[in-house]
Amino acid sequence: MRLPTIVAGLLVAGILSPAAGTLDGPVLAAASTSGKGIGLRLLEAPVAARADMRAWVYIIDHLAPGSVIHRRVEVFNTTNSPKQVALYPAAAQIRNQKFQFADGRTANELSAWTTLNQHEVTLAPHARSAVTATITVPQEAAPGERYAMIWAETAKAAPAGGGVAEVNRVGIRLYLDVGRGNPPASDFTIDSLTAQRSPDGRQAVVAQVHNTGGRALDLSGDLELTSSSGSLHHSAGPFKVQTGTTLAPGDVGSVTAVLTEQVPDGPWRARMRLESGLTKRTAEATIQFPASGTAQAVTAEMDTDYPVVALVGGGALAALAAIAFLLTQRKRRSRREPSNA
């Protein structure tokens, strides 16, 4: 009879906390009732992506066929007892708006390209060890984005005579796009906003999002409500969007902001701000909360001020530079031309 296995870790019950010491990367720690366990974190990010906090949490890169990269990760033990930790890559995919990992050591294309310089480490209490992950993209690799995991795992055998075997693992996501030239741009639209009221009376706003770019998105953000009645102005929020929505290129999905306070039914002007890494988008719509259930979706108006400002600003700077250049050239010519006086 096969014994059941309890699995804890990233995407199941992982804990995300700030980095300790002087290292810059966030820490991913395996779940436990005491808050202690094994942990794994990325120690470096690509130079071009260091402003993107996602690149400090996950391995995110764009590589041409035939390329090789190395990334250092750190596995650590926060318990008071030694731990034997297995390290390995395994498959993952984006499905049903979630980043989902495969069972055990199931492989896929990207995990097969990924090797670790250590497959097992023994960590003393409160010790840590650096491990290097190498990703080698074959010359014949087809273009497109792929997903995988790097896992750190501890296992506890079932008690003698039968019982439950326990496996704790924590991992780092891999998002790798293969292709020549520059990486595909990340982009998305917020297509509609929908007001809801749950059976227990909680209000929420759901945004439908379309990934129109070439990279996967991990969405976060917030919602703000404003209302005007005569000379009175009301506002509520911001309310955080529930995280965990991941959209592959071309996917359409939803993110939800649940209100943490009761507000009148409205109408409200809802402003939803969403981001994935450095890609940020904002949209607005006028909504009204229903007495129960879900209201009709309202087409959202995308806020395009920021790209317009950037373009106008860039155009204005270019125009000023051109005018300054022409004036300088005119002055130089006037100095070289002989006077008629």
Span 226-249, pLDDT tens digits: 986 655 678 888 999 998 999 999
Which amino acid, 292?
S
* 161 pLDDT more than 50: yes
Angular region, 244: left φ>0, alpha ψ -120 to 50, beta rest = left
Q: What angle do CA 88, 89, 90 make, to 5 degrees?
A: 120
Neighbours of 223 (CB within 10 A): 25
State how far the Cα of 311 lies from the Cα of 320, in Å rounded to an integer: 14
Confidence of residue 306 (pLDDT cuts 50, 70, 90): very low
What does the pLDDT read at residue 232? 63
Span 6-21, pLDDT tens digits: 333 333 323 332 222 2
* 206 pLDDT more than 80: yes
Which amino acid, 246?
T
With H, G, I as helix, E, B as strand and everything else as coil, classify residue 241. strand
Span 64-103, pLDDT tens digits: 999 999 999 999 999 899 999 999 999 999 999 999 999 9
> To the nearest whole number, what is the mean pLDDT of the chain?
80
Burial (CB < 10 A; 0-12, 13-18, 19+), residue 235, is middle
Share of the chain above pLDDT 70, in %: 74
Residues 6 or more apart from 151 whose CB is under 8 A from it?
Answer: 9, 86, 87, 88, 89, 90, 169, 170, 171
Place of tokens 């001020």: 305
* 340 pLDDT more than 90: no
Which amino acid, 11?
L
State how far the Cα of 204 lies from the Cα of 225, in Å rounded to an integer: 11
Check whether the bond before 238 is cis (ω within 30° of 0): yes
What does the pLDDT read at residue 55? 84
Residue 72 in tokens: 């250092």
Q: Are 42 and 56 in contact (CB under 8 A)?
A: yes
* 312 pLDDT more than 60: no
Span 164-179, pLDDT tens digits: 767 788 999 999 999 9
Residue 190 pairs in a beta bridge with 209
* 327 pLDDT more than 90: no
Confidence of residue 33 (pLDDT cuts 50, 70, 90): very low
Burial (CB < 10 A; 0-12, 13-18, 19+), residue 256, is middle
What does the pLDDT read at residue 230? 54
Place of tokens 């273009």: 143
State how far the Cα of 273 lies from the Cα of 205, in Å rounded to an integer: 12
Confidence of residue 317 (pLDDT cuts 50, 70, 90): very low
Span 283-304, pLDDT tens digits: 999 999 999 999 999 999 998 7
